[in-house]
Amino acid sequence: MIRIMLVMCALVSMMWLSASAMAQQPTTMSECDQWINKIHAEADDRVDEAGWTARQKADDIAQMCKEGKMVEAKKTASDMMTLLGIKM
């Protein structure tokens, strides 16, 4: 009986720790890649100033993601998508 209780306590503790660790994960690189791909898909077809600006900012977004500045990268990506008329 004591062994079963000890095993159950250990399992519950591991589940609790893993759930809190998963909840604290920041924005992943795959989201950055999605933002950059969306921007490039629209901007590469355009020849206007908005397309050029968006391509430049896509490079900046990639750099911000590499540096871990996910909040700034998301804000810049949403601004560029709005400029290009893409819904996030």
pLDDT tens digit sequence for 33-87: 999 999 988 888 888 888 889 889 999 999 999 898 989 999 999 999 898 888 7
Do the domain assignments include residue 2?
no
Position 3 scores a pLDDT of 84
CA distances from 7 to 12, 13, 18, 19 (A): 9, 10, 16, 18
Give the range of the structural domain holding residue 75, as residue numbers without chain letter. 29-84
Among 60, 4, 1, CA closest to 32: 60
Per-residue pLDDT, averaged over 9-24, amounts to 66
Do the domain assignments include residue 22?
no
Domain count, the chain: 1
- Taking a C-beta distance cutoff of 8 angstroms, is the pair 30, 59 a contact? no
Do the domain assignments include residue 21?
no
Q: Is the pLDDT of residue 21 over 70?
A: no
Per-residue pLDDT, averaged over 20-44, amounts to 75
Position 61 scores a pLDDT of 93
- Cα–Cα dist 88/81, whole Å: 7
